[in-house]
Structures are given as structure tokens and as C-alpha cells.
Amino acid sequence: MRLRLDIAYDGTHFRGWARQPGLRTVQGALEDALARILGGEPRLVVAGRTDAGVHATGQVAHLDLDDAQQTRLAASTRGSDTAVTALARRVGGALGAYADVAVTATALAPEGFDARFSAVWRRYVYRIADRRSGYDPLRRHDTTTVRTELDAEEMDAAAESLRGLHDFAAYCKPRPEATTIRTLLDFGWRRDDDGVLVATVRADAFCHSMVRALVGGCVAVGEGRLGVTDLAAIRDRGARVPEVKVLAARGLTLTEVGYPADDQLAARADQTRARRGSEPAD
């Protein structure tokens, strides 16, 4: 039995998604809670492994249950809830009140569903408070602050120039045998009702630190240190430059993962595995 789990978390006090010995991680916290409920050693497969300090409102994972775990799950059915849909609530109980991670929904996964390989895109937002918007201490965990006033129109124009299928090596931290070719589907900036700058970034997948480097390049444009056309030129040269900083993780949130229609899930997973092999899909 394969389950889909929808997940949200405040990444401030986690050392990223992936389980690491001796460190508190999102995967570790969730798998430990699931083990108390289901027994055995539950292992989550996630759509995109986030770095330390990165948040999520729309993370997706899948979980395969063995026979013993299915039996324990079925025995927990109460009232009108099915055991599967009630699992999200039970995980919340195991994590405790005011936990910084939550399973927001659980469901039987459609045939062929793979949280990682079936995904067709991931969407992130990045929040920046500049001199114009001011600093809100209640948003300090999910918003990065800069001291200057940024030019949102210039940043948006620079972001638009980066869209499409390209090699983004200049905006990625290299990993052995991992491709840096990605399709950047959407990238743009706006100010919200409070004046905070919000970037929306959507791609088929992201290489390591790609979103935060893209945002850092746009900040350099917004401050006037780089021109609108410079970011695409840097991308096309394929070399990292000191003007493009990787911004803090605190401003970044994974908001949504997109999947094809159910009858296309397995084919998409096979296609992605063939293209990327064992490469991380985050």
C-alpha cells in the first residue's frame, strides 16, 4: 500500500529535510512519529529535499506500508474517518501541540504515483523585506531583510529574462554527476499588500541552492549592482560570479508540487528516472 502525504513545516530549527545522524531533520521527525503509530521503520520519499532553514506549505511525500503496518493502520479506524485519512491527525498527536511540522493530509496514492519522480514541477516563493516595506518581527522566520530599497520592476524584468530551458550552473552549487540543466517555467517579482517583495519561482526541478542564487542575482539588480541583462549573460557564461550571492534560507518556502493526471503518473516517473538516474530531484 502506498500513501501520499501532504506536509508543511517551519524549517527554522530543522537541519533540512533529509535524515542525518544526530541532527534534527523534517524526515527524521516525521518518520519517528510514523513509527510510533505504524511500527517498523517507515521511510518517506519526498518531492524535493529542502535545505536547512527552508520552509514548506506544500511539500509532498509517499510512504509504502508493509503488511504489518497495514494491519496496524486498519485497526485504528474510528467513527466516520477512514484509517488512511485519519493518519494525518494521528501524526499530529504524535508530534505534539504546536509542532513545527505537520502532515496536512493523507490519502491512498494513485497507481504509479511517485512523490519524487512523478512530479512535473515545484513552486517556491521567496520573501524580502527592504527599506520600503520595513521589518515585521512576526515574519522574521520566513522573510529575509535587506537594508536598501530595491527596484521591484528591474528585478522582475531580470527574472523574466532567465525563464526557459537552460544550463543554470552559474546559479547552482555543483554536485558530482548531477546535471544543472533545468526548465525555469515561471519567475517573477511583486510587492504584496505590506510592501514586501515576493518572488514566485517554478521549475521542473531545482539544483542545489538554485532558487536562493537566482534571488540573490535579482537583489543585485534591485540594488543597482548589476543590470537587467546581466543575469542572463552570467547564466550563459556558466560560471559563478561574486556579485550573485546565495541568500538566506529563511526567506524560502516550497508552496506546491505539480503532478500530471493519474493515468500519466507512472510514465512520468519512468521518464524522470531515465533522464536523471540517481540525481537528487530538489
- Spell 231-240 as b/e; 16+ CB within 10 A means b: bbebbeeeeb
Q: How far is CA 28 from the centre of its chain?
A: 17
Task: Give me the residues paired with residue 60 across strands.
Answer: 6
Is there a catalytic annotation at residue 192?
A: no
Question: Do residues 212 and 53 touch, judged by C-beta distance below 8 A?
Answer: no
Strands 252-258 and 55-64: parallel
The one catalytic residue in 6, 51, 114, 142 is 51
- State the alpha helices, DSSP H only, in 54-206: 67-74, 83-95, 152-160
| Distance (Å, whole) CA 174 – CA 17 | 19
| Distance (Å, whole) CA 96 – CA 93 | 5
Cα torsion for 270, 116, 207, 212, to the nearest 10°?
150
Which residue, among 51, 53, 54, 29, has the nearest Cα to 42 in the 3D structure?
A: 29
Burial of 176 (0-12, 13-18, 19+ CB in 10 A): exposed
Residues with catalytic function: 51
